[in-house]
Amino acid sequence: MSEETKYELAKELGFSHKVKDGDWGNITTREAGSLVRSAIKKAEDAMAQQEEQ
């Protein structure tokens, strides 16, 4: 996953202020889990959309 995508998801989840300097070590385990779940959901949605076409 690209840094840009991770930052975009962090922004949507409300903790982009913790990673604006590129240090992902400042996020909690819960935030990291939320980031992964969001990335998976986004990928699943994109695949479903491609299947519909």
Residue 1 CB partners (closer than 8 Å, separation 6+): 39
Question: Taking CA 25 as the corner, what is the angle to CA 31 and CA 12, rounded to the nearest 5 degrees?
Answer: 35
In this structure, what token pair is assigned to residue 37? 């779940």
| pLDDT tens readout for residues 20-49 | 888 999 999 999 999 999 999 999 999 999
Tell the burial category of 9 from Cβ atoms under 10 Å away from its Cβ (0-12, 13-18, 19+): buried
| pLDDT score at 1 | 84
| pLDDT score at 53 | 78
How far, in Å, CA of 13 to CA of 9, rounded? 6
